[in-house]
């Protein structure tokens, strides 16, 4: 990017990313605070590990059923209004968790919380595609999703402290936990209406020239995309790439929530007090947040996605297995911390992948489908740990079982890489612009960042020319600063084929 474009995106990121981080931090905290509430709630209500595991996981069935429709509505009515609706409803339901009196109400309110929150994460991922071109996307997604481990960094000690106010106004500590941590979502829901623009075209903090720069960059990003992109809903929902991404995310989420919703109780079983549990649990998530940001930036710098998802998944699996093999409690906690770091590091590069071949309504539905199917792992992870804990009296078997999921995710990621390579090889050739590595996701002989800087006039003409097979020779580019002039072998701009290719430079190419 040019200095002006980098300065513009720093301005954009300062304006929208901090708000998005706070929104997601509150969202994730309301989703997983049940893990801390369980430290006293399970005893007060007589919940077994299996009952708790089912209740913690049933959230994701409500999430699954309403995810795709919610994200499509967001794409139609705009992010500002729909995110406001999501946050208000989940804040109310989260606070209502204080009314749980038994198994039925626990299951019902967890399910409703999933319904209320459905669409938030994929909506935010979709929202980032309105602003950032693909070569810049992983680092901003990772920065936004750093809110997930940060929710535990902030929420763990705060939740441990809130549990200590047991008996105030006749409420148990776990009831106060739900009430207090549900209120910020309602407040932020109202603030979203004033602070979150629907997209660059409606962003009052941008000048008209800045809006035009962003629109031009995004248009060139779409034109330079080497994948066959879907723009309608149904083809995207049955695309093998979407289904493979769903399976990958399913494996990641099993590990994420399998450890996330049980870690407070695992640490508590090691002899720590409630307040100490909060501090101990916060440490691995603090490191995970830093790892997410650094790994996402590394993925963008290397212009690669596949291995940046697969490797952290394998690291996570190794952490789970090591925690079972080790006998020292300190080393076990360190191993579980490594498992968490691996899981979170994979998220930024993973969520930068779907938009490579999904656009418009297809992106809204496809990203939502990936998230909804993948988040079913949030049911199976906690349930597996709870059932094995009931059966064996130990967490070891459940944690060992969790290790299988990220291994499957890593293998599926590599299979997806092979599929993408075959799709690119079978597609009409695109111009080679002399990239430094393997291009988008490390799969192509040019860099997506360099293709992005081809001129807006020349890129559609180049792609149209190659798609029509008007030239049999590879196109070369002689860039000077930002590339603007390309030639094909001995052809020149004045040849008939060139004139035909440039006759309608504004026509869509993807």
Per-residue CA distances from 111 to 64, 108, 382, 430 (Å):
10, 5, 15, 47
Q: Which pLDDT tens digit goes with each residue over 408-417? A: 999 999 999 9
What gap in Å lies between CA 58 and CA 378, rounded to an integer? 8
Half-sphere exposure of 316 (CA within 13 A, CB side): 36
Query: At a CB cut-off of 8 Å and minimum separation 6, what does 265 contact?
Result: 35, 38, 39
420, 487: one domain: no
179 burial via Cβ count (<10 Å: 0-12, 13-18, 19+): middle
What gap in Å lies between CA 252 and CA 224, rounded to an integer? 30
Q: Which pLDDT tens digit goes with each residue over 223-247? A: 765 544 544 556 666 788 889 999 9
397, 469: one domain: no
202, 283: one domain: yes
What gap in Å lies between CA 244 and CA 239, rounded to an integer? 9
What gap in Å lies between CA 250 and CA 245, rounded to an integer? 8
Q: What is the pLDDT at residue 126?
A: 83
Last residue of a domain, one of 407, 424, 441: 424
Strand partners, 358: 230
Element (H, E) at 169: none
Q: What is the pLDDT at residue 118?
A: 87
Query: At a CB cut-off of 8 Å and minimum separation 6, what does 356 contact?
Result: 134, 225, 227, 229, 305, 440, 441
User: Which CATH number is 380's domain given?
Assistant: 1.20.1250.20
The band of 337, judged by pLDDT with boundaries at 50, 70 and 90, is: very high
The closest alpha carbon to 225, from 423, 475, 504, 506, belongs to 423
In a domain, 361, yes or no: yes
In a domain, 449, yes or no: no
3-state secondary structure 227-288: CCCECCHHHHHCCHHHHHHHHHHHHHHHHHHHHHCCHHHHHHHCCCCHHHHHHHHHHHHHHH
Number of domains in the chain: 2
347, 479: one domain: no
In a domain, 182, yes or no: yes
Q: Which pLDDT tens digit goes with each residue over 340-362? A: 999 999 998 998 888 777 665 66
Q: Over 50: is that where the pLDDT of 487 sits? A: no
406, 484: one domain: no
Q: What is the pLDDT at residue 402?
A: 95
Spell out where 354-433 has E strands.
none
The band of 490, judged by pLDDT with boundaries at 50, 70 and 90, is: very low
Q: Over 90: is that where the pLDDT of 467 sits? A: no
85, 167: one domain: yes
Other beta carbons within 10 angstroms of residue 397's beta carbon come to 17
Query: At a CB cut-off of 8 Å and minimum separation 6, what does 81 contact?
Result: 193
Spell out where 297-426 has E strands.
none
Other beta carbons within 10 angstroms of residue 301's beta carbon come to 14
Query: At a CB cut-off of 8 Å and minimum separation 6, what does 353 contact?
Result: 245, 305, 309, 441
Domain housing 496: 454-501
403, 478: one domain: no
In a domain, 446, yes or no: no
Q: Which pLDDT tens digit goes with each residue over 139-168? A: 888 888 888 888 888 888 888 889 888 888
The band of 270, judged by pLDDT with boundaries at 50, 70 and 90, is: confident
In a domain, 163, yes or no: yes
In a domain, 509, yes or no: no
The closest alpha carbon to 123, from 371, 429, 436, belongs to 371
Last residue of a domain, one of 406, 424, 442: 424
494, 396: one domain: no
**Taking the alpha carbons of 25, 27, 31, 37 in that order, is the dihedral positive or negative?**
positive
- What mean pLDDT is reported for the chain? 80
What gap in Å lies between CA 300 and CA 348, rounded to an integer? 10
The closest alpha carbon to 145, from 357, 363, 291, belongs to 291
What gap in Å lies between CA 335 and CA 228, rounded to an integer? 41
Q: Let me know: does 280 contact 272? Beta carbons within 8 Å.
A: yes
245, 120: one domain: yes
Q: Over 60: is that where the pLDDT of 508 sits? A: no
135, 194: one domain: yes
Q: What is the pLDDT at residue 240?
A: 86
Q: Over 90: is that where the pLDDT of 323 sits? A: yes
Look at the pTM and tell me if it is higher than 0.75. Answer: no
In a domain, 432, yes or no: no
174, 276: one domain: yes
What gap in Å lies between CA 27 and CA 121, rounded to an integer? 9
Q: Let me know: does 347 contact 252? Beta carbons within 8 Å.
A: yes
Q: Let me know: does 80 contact 193? Beta carbons within 8 Å.
A: yes
The tokens for 33 are: 């605070």
Element (H, E) at 218: helix 208-224
Q: Over 80: is that where the pLDDT of 441 sits? A: no
Q: Which pLDDT tens digit goes with each residue over 179-192? A: 999 999 999 999 99
What gap in Å lies between CA 54 and CA 216, rounded to an integer? 48
What gap in Å lies between CA 128 and CA 141, rounded to an integer? 7
Q: What is the pLDDT at residue 135?
A: 77
331, 387: one domain: yes
In a domain, 497, yes or no: yes
Average pLDDT over residues 36-63: 91
Last residue of a domain, one of 375, 409, 424: 424
């Amino acid at each position: 990017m040019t200095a002006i474009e980098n300065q513009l995106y720093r301005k954009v990121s300062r304006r929208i990313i901090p708000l998005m981080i706070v929104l997601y931090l509150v969202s994730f905290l309301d989703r997983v605070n049940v893990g801390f509430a369980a430290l006293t709630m399970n005893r007060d209500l007589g919940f077994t590990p299996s009952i708790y595991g089912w209740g913690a996981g049933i959230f994701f069935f409500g999430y699954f059923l309403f995810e795709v429709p919610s994200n499509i509505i967001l794409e139609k009515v705009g992010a500002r209004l729909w995110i406001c609706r999501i946050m208000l409803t989940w804040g109310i339901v989260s606070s209502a968790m204080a009314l749980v009196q038994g198994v039925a109400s626990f299951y019902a309110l967890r399910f409703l919380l999933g319904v209320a929150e459905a669409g938030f994460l994929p909506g935010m991922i979709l929202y980032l595609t309105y602003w950032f071109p693909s070569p810049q996307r992983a680092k901003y997604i990772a920065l936004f999703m750093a809110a997930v481990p940060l929710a535990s960094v902030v929420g763990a000690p705060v939740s441990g402290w809130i549990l200590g106010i047991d008996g105030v106004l006749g409420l148990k500590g776990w009831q106060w936990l739900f009430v207090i941590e549900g209120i910020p979502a309602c407040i932020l829901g109202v603030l979203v209406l004033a602070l979150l623009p629907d997209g660059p075209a409606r962003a009052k903090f941008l000048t008209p020239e800045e809006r035009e720069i962003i629109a031009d960059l995004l248009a060139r990003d779409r034109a330079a995309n080497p994948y066959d992109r879907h723009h309608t809903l149904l083809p995207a929902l049955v695309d093998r790439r979407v289904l493979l991404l769903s399976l990958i995310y399913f494996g990641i989420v099993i590990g994420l929530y399998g450890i996330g919703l049980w870690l407070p109780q695992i640490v508590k079983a090691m002899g720590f007090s409630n307040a100490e549990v909060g501090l101990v649990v916060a440490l691995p998530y603090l490191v995970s947040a830093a790892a997410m940001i650094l790994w996402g930036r590394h993925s963008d710098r290397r212009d690669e996605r596949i291995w940046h998802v697969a490797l952290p998944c394998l690291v996570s699996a190794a952490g789970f297995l090591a925690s079972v093999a080790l006998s020292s409690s300190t080393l076990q906690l360190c191993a579980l911390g490594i498992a968490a770091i691996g899981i979170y590091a994979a998220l930024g590069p993973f969520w930068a992948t779907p938009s490579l071949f999904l656009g418009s309504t297809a992106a809204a539905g496809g990203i939502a489908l990936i998230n909804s199917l993948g988040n079913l792992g949030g049911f199976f992870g906690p349930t597996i740990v709870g059932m094995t804990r009931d059966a064996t009296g130990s967490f070891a078997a459940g944690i060992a079982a969790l290790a299988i999921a990220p291994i499957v995710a890593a293998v599926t990621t590599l299979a997806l890489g092979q599929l993408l390579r075959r799709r690119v090889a079978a597609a009409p050739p695109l111009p080679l612009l002399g990239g430094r590595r393997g291009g988008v996701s490390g799969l192509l002989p040019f860099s997506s960042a360099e293709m992005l800087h081809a001129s807006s006039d020349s890129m559609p003409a180049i792609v149209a020319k190659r798609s029509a097979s008007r030239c049999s020779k590879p196109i070369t580019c002689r860039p000077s600063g930002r590339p603007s002039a390309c030639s094909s072998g001995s052809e020149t701009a004045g040849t008939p084929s060139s004139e035909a290719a440039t006759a309608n430079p504004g026509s869509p190419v993807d």
